A and B are shown apart, each in its own frame.
Chain A
Amino acid sequence: MPALPAFLARERTVAGPGYSRWLIPPAALAVHLCIGQVYATSVYKNALVAHFDSSLTAVGWIFSIAIVMLGLSAAVMGTWVDRNGPRAAMFASACFWSTGFLVGALGIASGQLWLVYLGYGVIGGIGLGIGYISPVSTLIKWFPDRPGLATGMAIMGFGGGALVASPVSGRLMELYDSGYDAADSGSVASGNAVMLLFLTLGVVYLAFMMFGAFTVRVPADDWKPEGWDPSEVKQKSMVTTASVSAGNAIRTPQFYLLWVVLFCNVTAGIGILEQASPMIQDFFRDGSSSAVTAAAAGGFVGLLSIANMAGRFVWSSTSDVVGRKPIYMVYLGVGLVLYFLLATVGANSTALFVLLAAVILSFYGGGFATIPAYLRDLFGTYQVGAIHGRLLTAWAAAGIAGPLIVNAFLDAQGTPGELTADAYRPALLTMVGVLGVGFVANLLVRPVAERFHEPHAPAEPTTDAETQPSGAGRSER
């Protein structure tokens, strides 16, 4: 890997006296709000199908490639991110994410779908993975007293990114194509409008993410929050003060138990997300018509997005108070009960159905946002970003398994949008079992054995350039 330019070097980002840690969450949000756009691709999906004269499946590959690349790049680049610090990681993420849009725009303009796969899917996907993990270990170091709150704020941004990108993209395509009406579900924007949208998003996201890159700082080695006593941490048996490297972490049973926990939680959440709109219509179907209109079903999807985003912040913050293992018992144990109720009595009332689904989706979001703090508790802050990156392969796997499970059951019953509540029961009860597996895996989590601990408990990841004594790095005021 070539040497980084000096302005990106980790030692140039050490915070000077008076720097407020409350600047770190907005820096992290600036990155996560941008990369969260990946969940707003449905806005222009039909336009791309028409432009390339292709199928939904072929265009859907753009999103799938991006998500697979997210998981792969987070796993592969995690150690690089931890070693080089958040500014280099955010800078790299911004360059990849923005270039992805620009290459994608070129693909649309030239009518070459493979260029969109390469641009948005592969190049943009690498930006997604690096960007997703870029602020995590830094936030945990700035908020050792409230790591769940800190990572919850950032990862909430990933959920919120689509909420911003979706309406903005609709408005921009209306601007670029006078014949397009975003409010009309039958209206399709021109390929030229989507190409201009990609160019706009590429430029705007680059600027926004650079704000994050040049705002973020790492704390000095001897820094701690005012009034916070690190000795309090030692009193909790599930919170270590030791350091475990990423290489050692993947040799521990705890890593694989958490992998199963995340996999099960995400799989169950996707079970609802994947079919949310047709599901609510089918649950309240009377003959050939449903009591829930298509517009109301769209509103239900929006409500689930809010619950998903809010859960990331609320539940992750709550984990700072109740502990990480207990909060996952809630996500998986209470989630299991709620899923069972959804399958058995969910069709009795629309309000009950909406309430149950919203709480389940808030647990889905909470599971994503709390996992970095859980990793910090078990493995320490030393290489928590790299360990988090490796664990995100569970997300990629669940992204395949969740829809596969749901679609396999529903395909056997008929076509979603023409089914009844009974048809969903086997899929939902399977998810109850999936959550049960995750619940047991979480129960089995114990503190990491001492033989995996680093001998000298390094405070920061070391690099060849960082052999000088602690605190020798320059501060940037």
Chain B
Amino acid sequence: MTGRIAFSWALVGLPLAYGVVETLRKAASLFTG
């Protein structure tokens, strides 16, 4: 069950993390001009 939980969270967590990182990179331009 632990493996299934880890897989399920990774499946949704990795794309979400990618989206957050991409957005933060874009948001960085607010502070760098």
Contacts and interface: CB of A to CB of B under 8 A. Distances in A.
Contact of A298 (B18, B26, B32): B26
Interface stretch (A117-125, A129-137, A301-309, A321-329): A301-309
Nearest to B26: A302
A296 interface: yes
A157 B12 CA distance: 9
A175 interface: no
B30 A303 contact: yes
B27 A302 contact: yes
Interface in B1-25: 1, 4-5, 8-9, 11-13, 15-16, 18-20, 22-24
Contact of A20 (B1, B16, B31): B1
**Which of B8, B9, B29, B33 is most buried by chain A, counting CB atoms within 10 A of its CB?**
B8
B9 A167 contact: no
A163 interface: yes
Contacts of A215: 8
Contacts of B13: 26
Nearest to B20: A163
**Which of A167, A296, A299 is most buried by chain B, counting CB atoms within 10 A of its CB?**
A299
B16 to A, nearest CB: 5
Contacts of A33: 12, 15-16
B33 A18 contact: no
Contact of A163 (B19, B29, B30): B19
B5 to A, nearest CB: 5
A23 B26 CA distance: 32
Interface string A286-310: 0000001101111110110110010
A139 to B, nearest CB: 14
A26 B8 contact: yes
Contacts of B30: 292, 296-297, 299-300, 302-303, 354
Contacts of A354: 30
B5 A22 contact: yes
A211 B1 CA distance: 16
Contacts of A18: 1
A202 interface: no
B23 A163 contact: yes
A162 B16 CA distance: 10
A212 B20 CA distance: 21
A18 B4 CA distance: 12
Interface of B: 1, 4-5, 8-9, 11-13, 15-16, 18-20, 22-24, 26-33
Interface of A: 18-20, 22-23, 26-27, 29-30, 33, 157, 160, 162-167, 211, 215, 292-293, 295-300, 302-303, 305-306, 309, 354
7 contacts: A23-B8, A26-B13, A163-B19, A166-B19, A166-B22, A166-B23, A299-B29
- 8 smallest CB-CB distances across A and B, nearest first, come from A163-B19, A299-B30, A164-B19, A26-B8, A299-B29, A302-B27, A29-B12, A167-B22
Given A166-B19, A167-B22, 20 more contacts: A20-B5, A22-B9, A26-B8, A26-B9, A29-B12, A157-B12, A157-B16, A160-B16, A160-B19, A162-B19, A163-B22, A164-B19, A167-B23, A300-B30, A302-B24, A302-B27, A302-B30, A303-B23, A303-B27, A309-B20
